[in-house]
Amino acid sequence: MKKYLNTLYITTQGSYLNKEGETVVVKVEKEKLLQVPIHALEGIVCFGQVSCSPFLLGHCAQHGVSVTFLSENGYYLASVNGLISGNVLLRRQQYRYADNPEISAKIARFILIGKIANCRTVLQRSLRDHSEKINQPEVETAVSRLSQSLEQLKREQPYSLDELRGIEGDSAHSYFSVFDHLIVQQTQDFQFSGRSRRPPKDKVNCLLSFVYTLVMHDVRAALESVGLDSCVGFLHRDRPGRPSLALDMMEELRPFIADRLVLSLINRCQIASKGFVSSQTGAVLMDDDTRKTVLVEYQKRKQEELMHPFLNEKIKLGLVFFIQALLMARYIRGDIDGYPVYLWK
């Protein structure tokens, strides 16, 4: 079992990271703010104007610690990684599967079953916990539509990738059409009228996009750690600079990791409307304090324990990324008959 490690997030602008012995040192204007053993980290994520020494980057690459650079607002820029671990035969088989439309569609179907089932569970949880505060009939209608999509996907019949994307699009529309009803506190300050990405046009979309970036970093690191190529996916096709396989695996994880976190932050009043600003382009951005709150709560969320349905044992949520990557690798190698998606209960 892989040891659960932490991700170090650097948000203070002007920070400089360097290596001292077997530790990572964070300095601002030559003042040491933090010192962390390298063996306690699985990744470092730098936001905005953050610099790293070449010696630290080499040391991290050697010890399997990924270093990711994002813009101050969370847009992905680049990553520094060491040699890809794992067997070259695994990656060659991954490429063969990705080039085969039928196998790609089979894997994409697994992924979408996990995504839609977990989206439905998010809605069902809200009906259970806040039935008196939400528009129950509309949410129940969305649950019914998601259930119909699941039944359709469970049929043993060949699907094309375009057909699967059509089912996914309909399901995403049903899910996000009632997402605003799941916000039961600060409803005037946090309103959601639909998904907007580049740029996010409201505070809820700003939060969703930011947390999705964090999830993508963890999924990508997990895939690389088991020897898979995170840029060659099955549902998401090849595009320069896009981590397609990481985006594939994110689909099943986003509802219960990212969406639930965003809803909790709002409904528990852990963040406030004053922590967001609108730019001249219409994009909504979060301030530094709000960003730090989200990062802290995301790390806490990764420490929570849950039951893994395939392993039938309790693990920390932060290990789900690695376990799912490992299961994907086992499926591609032919060790198991199908890819067992994570179904949240």
The answer to whether residue 207 sits within a structural domain is yes
- The predicted pLDDT at position 94 comes to 94
The answer to whether residue 111 sits within a structural domain is yes
Instruction: Please check the confidence at residue 134 and state whether its pLDDT lies above 60.
Output: yes
Where a domain ends, among 27, 60, 80? 80
Percent of the chain's residues with pLDDT above 90: 45
Structural domain span for residue 76: 6-80
The verdict on 210 and 312 lying in the same domain is yes
The answer to whether residue 339 sits within a structural domain is no
List, in sequence order, the alpha helices (H) in the chain: 54-62, 88-99, 101-130, 136-154, 161-177, 203-225, 244-254, 260-267, 288-303, 320-333
The verdict on 63 and 100 lying in the same domain is no
H/E stretch holding 20: strand 15-20
pLDDT tens string 43-99: 888 888 899 999 999 988 888 788 888 887 667 777 787 766 567 889 999 999 999
* Dihedral (CA of 328, 68, 57, 241) sign: positive
- The predicted pLDDT at position 1 comes to 34
Number of domains comprising the chain: 2
Q: What single letter denotes the amino acid at residue 198?
A: R
pTM for the whole thing? Answer: 0.82
The verdict on 57 and 120 lying in the same domain is no
CATH code of the domain containing 31: 3.100.10.20
CA distances from 271 to 9, 21, 46, 121, 159 (A): 19, 38, 22, 24, 43
pLDDT tens string 257-286: 999 999 999 999 999 999 998 887 778 888
The verdict on 144 and 190 lying in the same domain is yes
The verdict on 51 and 187 lying in the same domain is no
The answer to whether residue 343 sits within a structural domain is no
The verdict on 75 and 189 lying in the same domain is no
- The predicted pLDDT at position 3 comes to 45
The verdict on 104 and 177 lying in the same domain is yes
Cβ contacts of residue 174 below 8 Å, gap of 6+?
A: 142, 145, 146, 149
The verdict on 49 and 115 lying in the same domain is no
Of 299, 308, 328, nearest in space to 223 by CA: 328
The answer to whether residue 103 sits within a structural domain is yes
The verdict on 296 and 199 lying in the same domain is yes
* Dihedral (CA of 300, 306, 311, 315) sign: positive
Strand partners, 26: 17, 34
The verdict on 69 and 134 lying in the same domain is no
The answer to whether residue 151 sits within a structural domain is yes
CB 271 within 8 A of CB 265: yes
Instruction: Please check the confidence at residue 127 and state whether its pLDDT lies above 80.
Output: yes
The verdict on 174 and 256 lying in the same domain is yes
The answer to whether residue 118 sits within a structural domain is yes
Where a domain ends, among 31, 46, 80? 80
- The predicted pLDDT at position 80 comes to 82
pLDDT tens string 308-326: 888 888 888 888 888 899 8
Rounded Cα–Cα distance for residues 86 and 207 (Å): 34
- The predicted pLDDT at position 4 comes to 47
Rounded Cα–Cα distance for residues 285 and 206 (Å): 6
pLDDT tens string 12-43: 889 999 999 989 999 988 888 889 898 888 78
pLDDT tens string 204-257: 999 999 999 999 988 988 888 788 988 999 999 888 778 899 999 999 999 999
The answer to whether residue 149 sits within a structural domain is yes
Where a domain ends, among 27, 62, 80? 80
pLDDT tens string 298-312: 988 988 888 888 888
The verdict on 127 and 144 lying in the same domain is yes
Mean pLDDT of the chain: 88
User: What confidence category does residue 2 fall into, taking pLDDT thresholds of 50, 70 and 90?
Assistant: very low
CATH code of the domain containing 238: 1.20.120.920
